[in-house]
Structure 1
Amino acid sequence: MHTTILKGTNIGDNVIIGANSLVNKDIPSNCVAAGNPIKIIMPLDTYYMKRKERQAREVTELVHKYRECYGKEPDEKALHEFFWLFSDGDSQLTETWKRMMTLVGNEKESYDALRANKKKYENLDKFLKEI
């Protein structure tokens, strides 16, 4: 969003570019870059691991805020971004979570990754009871 990419620059594959960046030089594949002028922040693998570590904290915060605001337990729609924490195969997916798997046209790859996923919690209901 609101990023300027200057003529003659190349951006590699699997790159995340931060908002409001000025891409004034080539960016290699598999990294996260941002800034004005742009700089490489970290390898994509590092970013992925940081995001996985933060997910558990974020879903816990969201559940607490949801309970505070709405006075009830969140359902799979409210927690749709976090379904990987509770799923490691097709049989455990609700309709909402199945829709998430098809959003960007890489459904086969998403299901392959889900089957390889090591879920963090046994299921959503048990997670909600624990926190």
Structure 2
Amino acid sequence: MPHGAANGSRMMRNLFKRLVSKCRRVWAESSSERYVDYLRSRGARVGDGVFVREPKRVTIDLTRPSLLKIGNNVRINRGFLLLTHGYDWYVLRNLFDEVYASSGRVTIGSNVFFGFNVTVLKGIEIGDNCIIGTGSVVTRSIPANSVAAGIPARVICSIDEYREKRRIDYVVEAKDYARSIVEVHGRRPVPGDFREEFPLFLDGDQLPDDLPVAAQLGDSLAAYQRRHRAPYASFDAFLDDCDLPAVRNG
């Protein structure tokens, strides 16, 4: 085969490979399940129960997939960026005509939540049971059972401390939400407005059809049914404690 023909054939094969790769990527980005399967197919170690919101708006570095490990029940939101390598050696190459490759493992434990637009740099380990706040840039490892946020991200409290804070704050926030419904919509709140606040007024053995209780609780459903006792005896009791403004429409 003439040299020119061989080059043309090679170019066509490379073009076809790139096209197949692009199509595969587009297909993978069409759902969380497909994207997770794609990560695994490339060599990343990904556990069960991992959910990726809007994969098209997520960037996970797969130049060295063997360096990436994600545990079970991890929730990744849009704007997420994870790097297992760096190209900063570009500057050194231009100065010194030398290449110093840059890479590092990234390990994410189980039961981890990432807010929107989080960046995780190479060489990072995030332990189990962690919450990483929206907009954080994780430049150093985060220990297990921590809540971290900021640029650079730092631990702001333990997961136990955060739990105690939320136990108080979510009641205050739910009351304010109820008041806002009256202020904005001019009507009395109904249980269906409180898709995530239902533990305030529903015991574990009360599962109404008009609230997505089972979907919200997930694997915790059985424990909730068995143990939970609401702080309010009923939804009306909750509203009575909200100091609602007068309803404009009666």
Normalised-by-shorter TM-score class: 0.7 to 0.9
1:101 aligns with 2:203: no
- Distance in structure 1 (CA, Å) of the matches to 2:187 and 2:164: 31
What is the alpha-carbon root mean square deviation over aligned residues? Answer: 1.8
TM-score calculated relative to the size of structure 2: 0.47
Name the amino acid aligned to 1:17.
I
TM-score calculated relative to the size of structure 1: 0.85
Q: Percent identity, aligned pairs only?
A: 35
Q: 1:124 to 1:104 in 2, by over 3 A?
A: closer
CA contact (8 A) 2:207 2:213 kept: no
Q: How many residues align?
A: 127
- Structure 1 residues 1-131: aligned runs within 5 Å: 1-90=116-205, 92-97=206-211, 99-103=212-216, 105-106=218-219, 109-131=220-242
Name the amino acid aligned to 1:58.
E
Q: CA deviation at 1:114?
A: 4.7
Moved more, 71-80 or 111-120: 111-120
- Distance in structure 1 (CA, Å) of the matches to 2:125 and 2:137: 13
Name the amino acid aligned to 1:72.
R
| Partner secondary structure for residue 198 of structure 2 | helix
- Distance in structure 2 (CA, Å) of the matches to 1:130 and 1:42: 30
- Distance in structure 1 (CA, Å) of the matches to 2:166 and 2:174: 12
Q: Which contiguous aligned blocks of 4+ residues in structure 1 show a shift greater than 3 angstroms? A: none
- Distance in structure 1 (CA, Å) of the matches to 2:191 and 2:145: 31
CA contact (8 A) 2:125 2:142 kept: yes
Give ranges in structure 2 of 5+ residues lacking alignment.
Answer: 1-115, 243-250
Q: Which has the higher contact order (CA 8 A, sep 6+)?
A: 1
Give ranges in structure 1 of 5+ residues lacking alignment.
Answer: none
Q: CA deviation at 1:127?
A: 2.0
Larger Rg: 2
